[in-house]
Amino acid sequence: MGVSGSGKTTIATRLARGLDCAFLEADDLHPPANVEKMRRGIPLTDADRAPWLAAIRAHLEDAFAHGRSLVVACSALKRSYRAVLARDLPVTWIYLTGSADLIRSRLHQRTSHFMTAAMLPSQFAALEEPDDAIVADVSQEPDVIVEQILGLLRRSPGAGTSMSPLGE
């Protein structure tokens, strides 16, 4: 989880590969109206997000009902969104965090995504940092981040762990 441009898709796809499990890109589940709003620079409301969260939740329920692990790349910026997604499910949150300047520079480099750098302030404004997550500093290389996360998951499947930029 994290704001747009924090590397959720990059880290999540590599993490899913490392865990030998399925990957879900939550952005693919946004209704077309949501995508169009974001493309025009209009932040989504909680009501806009409700069907999106329900769709993600359905995928999580299906995976867990079939005994499968699933890595989901999802912003989940608010506690209430995470509560909807994790209710009665064994979810481990991984929070990708970085400076606004670093993330803005990444968004400026993207050309094929509907979320633009102009939307970043609204993402940071909506962000309610989790207190029950593995925290990863995204200023590191993706492979380093993934290896650190995998190491933490193998040692302690619980959350609430922080990774320093040097992985100490």
The CATH number assigned to the domain holding 121 equals 3.40.50.300
Has residue 2 been placed in a domain? Answer: no
Are 101 and 60 in contact, with CB atoms under 8 Å apart?
A: no
pLDDT value at residue 14: 97
pLDDT tens for the chain, 168 residues: list them: 998 888 889 999 999 999 999 999 998 999 999 988 888 888 889 999 999 999 999 999 999 999 999 999 999 999 999 999 999 999 999 999 998 888 877 765 655 655 565 667 777 788 899 999 999 999 999 999 999 999 999 886 554 444 433 332
pLDDT of amino acid 86: 96
* The pLDDT value given to residue 118: 60
The answer to whether 20 and 155 have CB atoms below 8 angstroms apart is no
Residue 45, judged by CB atoms within 10 A of its CB (0-12, 13-18, 19+), counts as exposed
Number of domains in the chain: 1
Separation between Cα atoms, residue 39 and residue 136, nearest integer Å = 28
Domain that holds residue 103: 8-155
- pLDDT for 109 equals 67
Where are the alpha helices (H) located in 23-165, listed in sequence order? 32-39, 46-65, 79-86, 100-109, 120-126, 142-155
In this prediction the pTM is: 0.82
Radius of gyration of the CA atoms of the chain, in A: 15
pLDDT at position 108: 57
Domain annotation covers residue 125: yes
Query: 60 lies in a domain?
Result: yes
Read off the tokens for 129.
């940092």
